[in-house]
Structure 1
C-alpha cells in the first residue's frame, strides 16, 4: 500500500492509502514537446485554453461543435468557493502565440451533480471532477475537429496529454506517451507530466490510430516521491453530464455570484496556477 500525496501550492496531507503495487512509470515515457508552430499543432486545434476574465486559465477540449470538456474545479473561485459565471469564460481553440483558431464565450456550464468543491479531498472528488461547457455558438472551422471520447484505458495502457501550463501558457505542449499506472475507485493514476494550468487537459488513448479522450487531468500528486497525474474515469460520468446539460434550461442553472479562478499571484508570474480539486 502506497501513499498518494497532492503536491503544488495549497496541496497538503495524504490523499489516502491506495494499493498501487507496481506503480513504476514506464521508461518509455516521452518528453513534453511544445507545439509552437501551426504545423506542430495540426490536428490538435480542438484543444484550447480556457480563460476566465483574464485572471486565470485551465485547459479544455472540444468534444462537439459547441461542447468543451474540462475539470469541474476550474469553474470555482479557489478562495471563496463561489461558482464562476459562464459568461466570464472564453474558450480559445488551438491558442498559440497570441492567436486562436476560434474564439467562443461560454453560455452554460454543468458539473457532476455529486461534485463538491469544498469537500474533503478523496477519490470520490477526483472521479467527479469533470464539467461540460456549452459555447455561445458552435465552432464550424474545418481545422477545429471535435475529439471523440472512449472508455477508460486499462492499467499499463499508453496514453498522452495535450495541455497548457503556467510556464507554457502561450502554446500547447504534448506528451504523446505516458502510462496508466493504476486505476482506483474510478480514478486513473498516470505517469503524465502536468503542471499548474493543466487542469482539465484531455488525456488521450491512441489505440486504433486515432486519438480519443479517455480522461481529463484533475490534479498532480506524488507516489513514493515520483510525480504522477490524476484523472477521472470519463465514460460513465460524462453520460451523467450530458443528460444534465440536456435537462437544464438556458439561464436557470448558474448562481448569480461572479467568481474567478484564483491564480495565487500577480499575472506577471507567468500564467494561472493549476487549481487543485480542494480549492
Structure 2
C-alpha cells in the first residue's frame, strides 16, 4: 500500500498547481438539474445514502462498499435499498426499489486501502421496475480518461443531501493500476457518484467515486475502473441472484486505515460509506 501511495504522490507533484477546477454548483431547480435526472440518491437501509446513476432503464451504477453495513460488515438486502432518480428538495422524478445487487467479484470489503480495493469498488443494481420516463435518460459509459484530462462529477453528500451538485470541471491527476486520482470535490454520501467525460459535448460515465483522500493537503477523489468491471457485473447479475457476495477477509473490521508513518503529509481516508 505504501509504495502505491508514494508513486501517486510523485506523479501528482507536477500537476498540483495546474488545476483549473470549477466550484460545486448546487442544482436546486428542475431547470438546473434537467440534464442530470438519471443521477439519483441511493437510500440504504434507512440510515444513510450513496449516489448512483442509471446506465439502463433498470440498472444503477454505484460503489460496491455502498452495499455493506458499516457496523455489522454484512451485505445489505436489496429490499432495504431505494433509488430516488433526480432527488431534489423532498421529491424524486422516479422512485424504485432494488431487486438485485452485485458487487465486483474481486472486491474485498473492509480490506486494506490499496489500488486493488479501489479499482474494484463498483456495483450494479437491478431495479424492481425499469424507469421509462422521457425526462430520465440513462447515461452511456466510456473508456477511462488519461492524466491531464478534464472530467466532472454529479453527487449528493452529507451537506447537500437534498439536491445534487455538479462540478463541471475537475482534473485527472493520475491514473495508476486502474485507479483514477482526480481533483474533484467529494464528501460522505458521494460514494458511487458518476464521474463524467464530456467529449463531443456528451456526458458519459468513465468512473465512479470510491473514496476521498488528502495528498499534501489537497483533497482528491479516487475513482474505480469501469471498462472490464461492467462486463463482469452484468454476468454476476445474471448468475448469482440477489447478492453476488464479495469477499470479506478474516479479521475484517480490525484494520486501521489512516496516517502514513513517513513525512509525505499524505493521509488516505477509508472509502466512505452511507
TM-score class, shorter-chain normalisation, is: 0.7 to 0.9
1-structure distance, mates of 2:95, 2:174: 36
2-structure distance, mates of 1:206, 1:175: 12
**Match of residue 210 from structure 2:** 218
Quote the offset at 1:172 in angstroms: 0.2
Give CA deviations for 1:160-185 in whole Å, capped at 9, x if unaligned.
Answer: 00000000000000000001000010
Of 143, 149, 154, 2:141 maps to 149
**Match of residue 108 from structure 1:** 100
**Match of residue 249 from structure 2:** none
Q: Secondary structure at the match of 1:16?
A: helix
1:47 partnered with 2:27: no
Matches within 5 A, 1:1-279: 16-19=5-8, 20-21=11-12, 22-24=14-16, 26-249=18-241, 251=242, 253=244, 276-277=270-271
Task: Note the aligned Cα RMSD (angstroms).
Answer: 2.0
Alpha-carbon spacing, 1:74–1:62, altered in 2? closer, same or farther (3 Å): same
Q: Secondary structure at the match of 2:227?
A: helix
Q: Secondary structure at the match of 1:90?
A: strand
Q: Secondary structure at the match of 1:124?
A: helix
1-structure distance, mates of 2:68, 2:231: 22
Q: Secondary structure at the match of 2:181?
A: strand
- Greater fraction helix: 2
1-structure distance, mates of 2:150, 2:5: 25
**Match of residue 250 from structure 2:** none
2-structure distance, mates of 1:23, 1:125: 25
TM-score (norm 1): 0.84
1-structure distance, mates of 2:228, 2:55: 15
Quote the offset at 1:25 in angstroms: 5.5
2-structure distance, mates of 1:23, 1:228: 12
Which consecutive unaligned segments of at least 5 residues does structure 1 have? 5-13, 256-274
TM-score (norm 2): 0.86
1-structure distance, mates of 2:86, 2:25: 15
The answer to whether the 8 Å contact 1:117/1:277 transfers is no
Quote the offset at 1:253 in angstroms: 4.5
Moved over 6 A (4+): none
Which consecutive unaligned segments of at least 5 residues does structure 2 have? 247-268
